[in-house]
Chain A
Amino acid sequence: MVLPTSRRIVGVEPTDRPNFDRFFVLVGAGVGGHYLSGVRAFYVRHEYSVIYVVSSVIYIAVALNLRFLLNWIVGPIWPIACMWFVPVVVRRLTGWTDPIPGEPGDATS
């Protein structure tokens, strides 16, 4: 596995387009440090957080009725499966062209 350089969004500002904002990523530090920017829908910017929260709420709701699902095998696998497949499935179904955050093609990757 080749680890990408660690980058994170350090600033966000609104754009003319509703629901889209410009984000800034700091690359490097010191004299060589510089900013990259891109435009991304806020729901994509927060995509992982949304997946974590929604998948957890679904898991709790289902498990309250099917309590055997609250076990040490299903419990950890569920969020991994959601995070692995949901971004891909959402793009297939909706035709989004936004790159998956942190993946190739994304300014934060």
Chain B
Amino acid sequence: MSWAAHQFEYYAVQGHLPKRWLGRISFLGIVVGDMSCDFFGKLWAYGFDIDGTHYGPDQPAQWHRGWPGLGVTHSILWAFVLAGIVYLATRSRPWTIGVLLGAGIHVLTDVGDSVGTMLAFPFSTQTFSVGAWAYGVTPAGRNLDAAAYYSSLGFVMDVAWLVLALTGWRCLTREYWRTQIVTADPGAWAWLGRRLPERALVTLYRCWFIYGTCRLIAWTIWAHVLEQHQWDLSWGGPSWIARAEISNPQPLLTIGVVAVVGTLLVLAINALVRSPDRFWRRR
């Protein structure tokens, strides 16, 4: 489970796109693809209470990341299936690649916690995990999960993605938005531009960065100033929360699989970027 890291990764990726990919990938597609992984399963993973009765899965980690369960949304297969659906529905190259890249990045970054993701699904239902911090989704709810995440190496993960996004800070400028973001996906931005003034459009582009920063600051203040949860930056921490696992975390194996899957993703995107125009709708 990563928190604000998922917001920062949109900008970290966009700000460091290879030149040959610039202007060919929809930023909004990256956002939609990234969000799709948690959209279907996250709410039920926490569950909710009505009149003292808790409704939710018995094993949140299995439901969210495993099989049987909705763990398929955290597999590289999901990224390709979603991109295939977008392609069939829109024939839009920027959106197809954007969704593929966004979902792929989400799946790869979620290997950091103790549960990990099913990177090799459907060939294997094993979850690959580095186990750097404890997966904290429990029936106790989101607050405990946030406290655990922002007391562990998860906090470091968020800050690292923030720093990576900031190293490509030019992608947050109005100039970049006008010259790279809009031109890559003129249809969607033109549609939005008929409804919103430019200052709101630029803020729409930046809003996940602002939200991620606020989220990082707010949860950290809440966990350590208001609630005074204990920091535990040891590997696999924090020790004060039950650590959920599906398969045993295997950091070295996971890094190897991430490298293979990441390479596959890059090759697929390269192929899509270079594919003949006749396969795509003209912009």
- The chain A residues found within 8 Å of chain B, CB to CB, are 1, 3-4, 6, 8, 48, 52, 56, 59-60, 63-64, 67, 70, 72, 75-80, 82-84, 87, 100-103
Q: Decide: B199 and A79 in contact? CB cutoff 8 A.
A: no
- A80-B204 contact, Cβ under 8 Å, with A70-B218, A102-B199: yes
Q: Are A75 and B215 in contact (CB under 8 A)?
A: yes
Contact surface of B with A, Cβ cutoff 8 Å: 35, 142-143, 174-175, 178-179, 182, 189-190, 192-194, 196-200, 202-204, 206-208, 210-211, 213-215, 217-219, 221-222, 226
Contact of B198 among A59, A77, A80, A102 (CB under 8 A): A102
A48 pairs with B199, CB closer than 8 A:
yes
Closest to B182 in A: A3
- Since A59-B218, A79-B206 are in contact, a sample of 10 more A-B pairs with Cβ atoms closer than 8 Å, ordered by chain A residue number, is A1-B192, A1-B193, A8-B174, A56-B213, A67-B222, A79-B210, A80-B200, A82-B203, A84-B199, A103-B199
Q: Give the distance in Å from the alpha carbon of A102 to the alpha carbon of B214 in the complex.
A: 26
Smallest CB separation, A87 vs chain B (Å): 7
A6, A87, A100: which contacts B175 (Cβ < 8 A)? A6
CA of A101 to CA of B214 in the docked complex: distance in angstroms?
A: 25
Q: Closest A-chain residue to B219, C-beta based? A: A70
Task: Say whether, besides A3-B182, A52-B210, A76-B211, A83 and B199 are in contact (CB < 8 Å).
Answer: yes
Q: List 9 A-B contacts (CB under 8 A).
A: A6-B175, A70-B215, A77-B207, A79-B211, A83-B203, A84-B199, A87-B199, A103-B197, A103-B198
